Amino acid sequence: MDKKTKTIIIAVSAACAVAVIAIIALLVSMTKLRKDNADKEREIYNLNEQMNFEQSQAVLRFDDEHALDEQLQTFEHLKVDNDSLQRLLDQQTEHAKDLVNEIKKLKRENSDDKARINALLKELAAVRELIMGYIRQIDELNIQNQQLTAENEQVKQENRQIRDRNQSLTNQNQQLNETVNRAKQLDVTHFSFTPLNNRDKKTKYLRKIVKLQMDYTIGKNITTEPGMKTIYIRLTNPSDRLMGESASKVFAFEDGEVPYSLKQEIEYAGENYNGTFFWSFNDEPQEGTYRVEFFADGNQIGQFSFTLE
C-alpha cells in the first residue's frame, strides 16, 4: 500500500469518527432537551395544580363558613310557581348543602387531601352556577309573568271598554226603540162628557142622569201603522170601583191582564179620529169624580176625570 493510499484511509477514518462523535453528541443533546421539556411540563403542571389548589383554598376561605350558610339560606328561600323548576331548584340546593357540609368536615379535620377538596369546590361551583341558571330562569319567568299580567290587565281594560261601548249602544238602541214606540203610540188629545136623561137630552140634574155620552179625539200620527185598532176603556166611579167589571172582559197589558168597561173597534188612518162611547146607568149615578182611561196596542193612551154633581 503506497503512502498516498494510507493517507486517504486515515482521512476517511477520521471523518467517520468525527461524524459518529457529532451524532452521539446530537443524540445526547436531544435526550437532554426532551428531559428538560418533560421537567418543564411537570413544573408547569405542578404550578397549575398549586395555583388551582390555592385558588380553591381562597374560594374556600372566602365562602367559609358564614358566607356559604347565607348563600344556602338564599337558595332555600327561592320559590317559583313552576313546579318542575322548583323541584330542580330544591334538588340542587340539597346537593349544595351536602357539598358544603363535606367541605366543612374536611376543614375541621384539617385534611390535606387537596384533590378531594378541589373536586368538592369545583362541584360546588358547578352546582352554584346551575342554581344561578335556575335563578335567571325564575327572573325571566317573573318578567314574563309581569308582562302577561300587564297584557292581561290591558285586555281586561279593553274588554271593559268594549262592554261599556256595547252597553252604551244597547242603551241607545233601547232609547231609540222607546222613542220610536212612543212616536208610534196613539194619543187621546181631547175628552168631553155629556150627561143625558131618558130622552137622550142633556141634563144637569144628577137624579135624572141615565146615560153618559163621552167624546174623545185621537190625535194625528203618521208613524203608527194604519188599520183597525181596538180601544179599551176603563171607567171608574167615585168609589174607585171599575164600572161594568166582568171576568170575561180583560185585555193584555204589560205582564198581566187588566179588566175593562168597554171596548171599541175603530179604523185609524193616521189622521185625527173623533169617537164617542156611551155608558148607561142601571141605578142613580153617584155624586163625585169619575175617571176614564184609554188603552190601545198595549199602551195607555189617555187618562181623564170628570165630576157629576
Residues 285 and 193 in one domain: yes
- Which of 98, 116, 137 represents a domain boundary (last residue)? 137
Residue 254 falls within a domain, yes or no?
yes
- The count of other CB atoms within 10 Å of the CB of residue 181 is 14
DSSP state of 214: E
Residue carrying the nine cell digits 268594549: 162
CB-CB contact of 75 with 89 (8 Å): yes
Q: Are residues 107 and 41 in the same domain?
A: yes
Q: Choose the final residue of a domain: 98, 118, 137.
A: 137
Q: Are residues 124 and 201 in the same domain?
A: no
Q: In angstroms, rounded to a whole number, what is the distance separating the alpha carbons of residues 237 and 212?
A: 12
For residues 304 and 217, membership in a common domain is answered with yes
Count of domains for the chain:
2
Check whether residue 130 and residue 232 sit in a common domain: no
Same domain flag for 131 and 194 = no
Q: What pLDDT sits at residue 43?
A: 44
Euclidean distance between CA atoms 297 and 253, whole angstroms: 9
Hey, what amino acid is at 192?
A: S
CA end-to-end distance (rounded Å), the chain? 190
Q: Are 180 and 250 in contact (CB under 8 A)?
A: no
Tell me how far apart the alpha carbons of residues 17 and 5 are, in angstroms, rounded to a whole number. Answer: 18
Please, which residues have CB within 8 angstroms of residue 144's CB and are 6 or more apart in sequence? Answer: none
* C-alpha distance from residue 118 to each of 23, 39, 72 (Å): 47, 24, 20
**Cα 220 to Cα 103, 138, 176, 225, 271, distances in angstroms:** 104, 76, 21, 12, 4
Of 137, 152, 171, the position where a domain reaches its end is 137
Question: 224 and 120 share a domain?
Answer: no
Q: How far apart are CA 248 and CA 231, in angstroms?
A: 16
What local confidence, expressed as pLDDT, does residue 92 receive? 83
Cell of 135: 335563578
Domain membership of residue 50 (yes or no) is yes
Q: How far apart are alpha carbons 249 and 240 in whole angstroms?
A: 18
What is the model's pTM? 0.48
Domain assignment present for residue 43? The answer is yes
Residue 188 CB coordination number (10 Å): 22
- Domain span at residue 197? 188-308
Q: Is residue 198 part of a domain?
A: yes
Question: Are 302 and 207 contained in the same domain?
Answer: yes
CATH of the domain at 215: 2.60.40.10
Q: Are residues 303 and 198 in the same domain?
A: yes
Per-residue pLDDT of the chain (309 residues; tens, 9 = 90+): 555 455 545 554 555 555 556 555 555 555 555 555 555 445 434 434 443 433 444 344 434 567 667 767 777 777 766 777 778 878 888 888 888 888 878 877 877 778 887 888 888 888 888 878 877 877 787 788 888 888 888 888 888 889 888 888 888 888 877 766 777 889 999 999 999 999 999 999 999 999 999 999 999 998 888 999 999 999 999 999 999 988 899 999 988 999 999 999 999 999 999 999 999 998 889 999 999 999 999 999 999 999 998
Whether 210 and 125 map to the same domain: the answer is: no
**Residue 88 resides in a domain:** yes
In a domain, 195, yes or no: yes
- Examine residue 144 and state whether it is found in any structural domain, yes or no: no
Q: Do 129 and 193 fall into the same domain?
A: no
- Please report which residue ranges of the chain form alpha helices under DSSP H: 3-63, 66-76, 83-108, 114-184
Cβ atoms 187, 221 nearer than 8 A: yes
**The predicted structure's pLDDT at residue 295:** 96
As a whole number of angstroms, the distance between CA 117 and CA 94 comes to 19
Q: Is 225 contained in some domain? A: yes
